[in-house]
Amino acid sequence: MRVSVPTIITGFGAPKRTISPAAAVERIADFLAPGNVTLLTGAGVSVASGIRAYRGKDGRYMNPNYQPIFYHELTDQSEKGFAFRHRYWLRSYLGYPPVRDAVPNTSHYAIAALQYASYLPRLVTQNVDGLHHKAIAHLWDPDHIQKQIVELHGTLHRVHCKRGHVVPRDTFQDWLSASNPQWKAFVDNLEKTGANYARILMVELEGVSYANFVVPECPQCTLEGQQGSFYKSKVIFFGESIPSRIKDRSLHDVEQSERVFVLGTTLATYSAFRLVKRALELRKPVMLLNVGPTRADELPGVEKLEISSSLVLRDVVRAILGSRASQDSTIVHLLQSGVHQPPAEDQEIVSRNT
């Protein structure tokens, strides 16, 4: 099977046009103020939470040696598939804690404020980190969150076996720890010393044998007498199809909106690019906010602003809501919340498929 990793072709098209934060705030506020906007977010939104984006400002992968595990490799029933799964789960075991412990940044909370104020009734995210959920979990119950937020590429916070038994990722992390005490001690030491997880993943694992890492089988399948079951993260891997209900829901959210706001994404994956194309087919206004080239840069009907969301989104909320932004205690709290902790420039990438 041949599956390619999406890329962005750089160096073509119109030159990059910069915009001042003040001008960007005014333009974005004008775009969002009518309401009934569907928001599409990508990796750029989570960078200020310490989760590095796949691609840099030139559209290329931050890690030139990036080698994702494809779906057909992960689910292969042969010894080769067994090896791929062990490689995946050892790296995932080490890479999950920083993602688990990440907290929403100022952009997540600004978005939550606009959700709470009903300007963004629909959010489709490509991110699997769950930070949009964390930002608004104190205001909405889980069922309401599921109705308002679509995780286009799944979530890292749940795993499932091939027969569909779902387990919280934190629980599975505990199972991995219990099955691999030597690696549990290694992780405990990383957390104690504050070591750079990303560099550990990219450097210190070279030459490590994955074969001795124990990956628990599904206990429910064992009880049912089923053998050979294995777990995977509830994320969409390269080469894996998005469930039809998620695909249909994301298209429906675009179709039901008056306009589409795209934030922090290169739109390299077709699952996201498709949504922008559909909005344009329906002649809906589309605004794209991203630093660096995107797949939609040359599309007629897309207004692109080259600026980071962390520089403008809180002021956008204030511009739209006016006095409510300072009088509504919930909005005030949201606009005062959020970290700004982007990864250091010299850090290596931590895979978002951990």
From residue 130, alpha-carbon distances to 49, 65, 147, 291, 331 in Å are 12, 26, 15, 22, 21
H helix runs in the chain, sequence order: 21-32, 71-74, 79-101, 106-116, 131-136, 142-148, 169-179, 181-193, 197-199, 219-223, 244-256, 270-281, 313-321, 324-327, 329-335
Q: 168: buried, middle or exposed (CB in 10 Å: 19+, 13-18, 0-12)?
A: exposed
Q: Which residues contact 244 (CB under 8 A, 6 or more apart)?
A: none
Q: Which one is catalytic: 153, 157, 252, 340?
A: 153
Q: How many C-beta atoms lie closer than 10 Å to residue 259's C-beta?
A: 17
**Structure-token pair, residue 11:** 């160096």
Q: What are the phi and psi torsion angles at 138 (to 5°)?
A: -80, -5
Half-sphere exposure of 197 (CA within 13 A, CB side): 24
Q: Are 310 and 320 in contact (CB under 8 A)?
A: no
> Is 133 labeled as catalytic in the residue annotation?
no
SS3 assignment, position 175: helix
Cβ atoms of 285 and 31 within 8 Å: the answer is: yes
Residue 319: what are its φ and ψ, rounded to 5°? -65, -40
Cα 290-350-274 angle, rounded to 5 deg: 40
As annotated, the active-site residues are 153
